[in-house]
Chain A
Amino acid sequence: MRSLDVKEITKAVAHLSIETNRYLSPDMEQAFQKAKKQEPWPLARDTLDKIEENIQAAQDMGLAICQDTGMACVFLEIGQDVHLTGGSLQDAVNEGVRQGYTQGYLRKSVVADPIRRGNTGDNTPAVLYMDIVPGNRVKVSVAPKGFGSENMSRIAMLKPAQGQQGVEDFIFETAKLAGPNPCPPMVLGVGIGGTFERCALLAKKALLRSVDSSNSDPFYGKMEQRLLERINELGTGPAGYGGKTTALAVLIETFPTHIAGLPVAVNVSCHVTRHGSVEL
């Protein structure tokens, strides 16, 4: 049994909170390059240039790429042969968020109560998900999630008879309804199957994938591609000013479901789709 002090997790969460908000992952930067090459509309290419310029400016100025530094979604994959010492794991994660968001000059965007509001002042609590996995390592992933795009997300409990077409139409409709609000070009995380809440979690987890990856099942890999092409015929374009590049990727994750159900969830994300991981 390997021991790991939860202070290490605090450090990792703090570090990732700052890094992910200041630097986009290379797959996102490559996706902008690729999109620009395929973008026929000059105004849209110009907007993509400005989005790239902003990424550079954030680096140069030591600022967050986007002012909405999000709710900190934290995913832990904990090896079953690890013994966590030094205090509460949950507290350690929240302490990491507190430190990262304070030391990194990130925005505190969390209110303590959904109706009565009231800013918590340090961006805690994190939205924490934990999985127990084989091995003796702990993988820490942080994905700050902005709400301009989060607010355009949707979930539906479709009927099995609606099948593949129903699922694809729902995903397409979601992208269409989102319009200019979620800071396109979007990244769409999609969950299909499971139960109501598992389906939404799959959609969120899909956003941790690299945007140039495809589902390992070719059936869903092709669906991702087909949907991306269809969404990029909408004309919404970068920033919603018109153009081809409405989405950079559609990322689908699936799970077995019930004989009576066909849940589908779309977690809408934006051109500042952030995630980073470290293994301890």
Chain B
Amino acid sequence: MEYRLQTPLTKDKLKGLHAGDQVLISGEIYTARDAAHGRLKELLEAGKSLPIDLENLTVYYAGPTPAPPGTPVGSIGPTTAGRMDAYTPALLEQGMTAMIGKGARSPEVMEAIRRSGAVYFGCIGGAGALAARCIEKSELVAWEDLGSEAIRKLTVRNFPVTVLACGDENLYELGKSNYLASLRSQAESKA
């Protein structure tokens, strides 16, 4: 199925999505990757306030290339989400509802996704220019010293993502098993 969703991605809006659904996201999403996650965790543990509000937050695991003059952002595909796994359950508990990245998640994160009703979206790893086309604005929010790893607020329009995981569903398992099943049924119908 294809959907259009506007941020903030409240759990209400995310209800009813299934692995493999195509979604065009418009609104505001925030980049954060390894180093920013490390700092968010330190602040959370110290009980200090964060530079971003986690309530209904959509995080994009990405570190762009520098923006050429006159453009909002450079190449900006997703990074491997699994490296953020250690931090994710705590952020989901604090109200984050959506993540955009690529690659497999740990059993702990899959369980936290199931429990919280959050959704893990994916876009094609390496397709940095395609993603850049959907970004209208990029503003630095925190930690400029982290360079490409700083937290940025991106204003996106019809940013194309695929549902990788929600509830009990996992596209990486489903996609593979559906394809392999199609091969088997083909072989059987030939036999």
Cβ A43 vs Cβ B80 within 8 A: no
Q: Which of B104, B149, B177 contacts A180 (CB 8 A)?
A: B104
> Contacts of A63 on B, CB cut-off 8 Å?
65, 68, 74-75, 128-129, 132
Q: How far is the CA of A192 from the CA of B27 in the complex (A)?
A: 50
| Least CB separation from B132: chain A residue | A63
Stretch of B4-12, B50-58, B119-127 at the chain-chain interface: B119-127
Cβ B128 vs Cβ A237 within 8 A: no
* Known contacts A54-B128, A181-B104, A241-B175; A151/B80 CB under 8 A: yes
Report A222-263 CB contacts with B as 1/0, cut-off 8 Å: 000000000000111111111110000000000000000000
* Known contacts A58-B129, A67-B76, A148-B80; A179/B147 CB under 8 A: no
| A201 interface residue (CB < 8 Å to B) | no
Q: Which of A54, A106, A179, A234 contacts B124 (CB 8 A)?
A: A54
The distance from the CB of B69 to the nearest CB of chain A, in whole angstroms, is 9
* Known contacts A51-B126, A54-B129, A68-B79; A241/B147 CB under 8 A: no
Q: How far is the CA of A121 from the CA of B175 in the complex (A)?
A: 39
How many chain B residues have a CB neighbour from A under 8 Å? 46
The distance from the CB of B160 to the nearest CB of chain A, in whole angstroms, is 9
| A82 interface residue (CB < 8 Å to B) | no
Q: Which of B71, B102, B129 contacts A65 (CB 8 A)?
A: B129
| B64 interface residue (CB < 8 Å to A) | yes
| A66 interface residue (CB < 8 Å to B) | yes
Stretch of B89-97, B107-115, B178-186 at the chain-chain interface: B178-186
Chain B interface, >50% SS class: mixed
| Least CB separation from A111: chain B residue | B35
Q: How far is the CA of A243 from the CA of B75 in the complex (A)?
A: 26
The distance from the CB of A25 to the nearest CB of chain B, in whole angstroms, is 15
* Known contacts A41-B182, A151-B80, A236-B176; A61/B132 CB under 8 A: yes
> Contacts of A272 on B, CB cut-off 8 Å?
126
> Contacts of B149 on A, CB cut-off 8 Å?
119
* Known contacts A61-B132, A181-B103, A183-B126; A67/B64 CB under 8 A: yes
Cβ B68 vs Cβ A105 within 8 A: yes
| B167 interface residue (CB < 8 Å to A) | no
Cβ A51 vs Cβ B127 within 8 A: yes
| A69 interface residue (CB < 8 Å to B) | yes
Cβ A67 vs Cβ B104 within 8 A: no
Chain A interface, >50% SS class: loop
| B100 interface residue (CB < 8 Å to A) | no
User: Which residues in window 111-151 of B have CB below 8 A to A?
Assistant: 122, 124-130, 132-133, 146-149
Q: How far is the CA of A13 from the CA of B110 in the complex (A)?
A: 43
Q: How far is the CA of A50 from the CA of B130 in the complex (A)?
A: 8
Q: How far is the CA of A66 from the CA of B119 in the complex (A)?
A: 24
Q: How far is the CA of A183 from the CA of B122 in the complex (A)?
A: 12
The distance from the CB of B174 to the nearest CB of chain A, in whole angstroms, is 8
Cβ A107 vs Cβ B126 within 8 A: no
> Contacts of A109 on B, CB cut-off 8 Å?
63, 148
Q: How far is the CA of A50 from the CA of B148 in the complex (A)?
A: 25
User: Which residues in window 34-67 of B have CB below 8 A to A?
Assistant: 35, 62-67
Q: How far is the CA of A41 from the CA of B174 in the complex (A)?
A: 14
Q: List 21 A-B contacts (CB under 8 A).
A: A44-B179, A54-B129, A57-B132, A61-B129, A63-B132, A64-B74, A66-B126, A67-B63, A68-B63, A68-B79, A69-B65, A69-B75, A105-B65, A119-B147, A148-B79, A148-B102, A148-B126, A180-B103, A183-B125, A235-B177, A237-B175
- Given pairs A50-B124, A241-B162, 10 additional interface contacts (CB within 8 A): A40-B182, A58-B128, A63-B68, A64-B75, A66-B75, A107-B66, A179-B104, A180-B102, A239-B102, A240-B172
Closest CB pairs A-B (n = 5): A242-B175, A183-B125, A58-B129, A242-B179, A57-B129
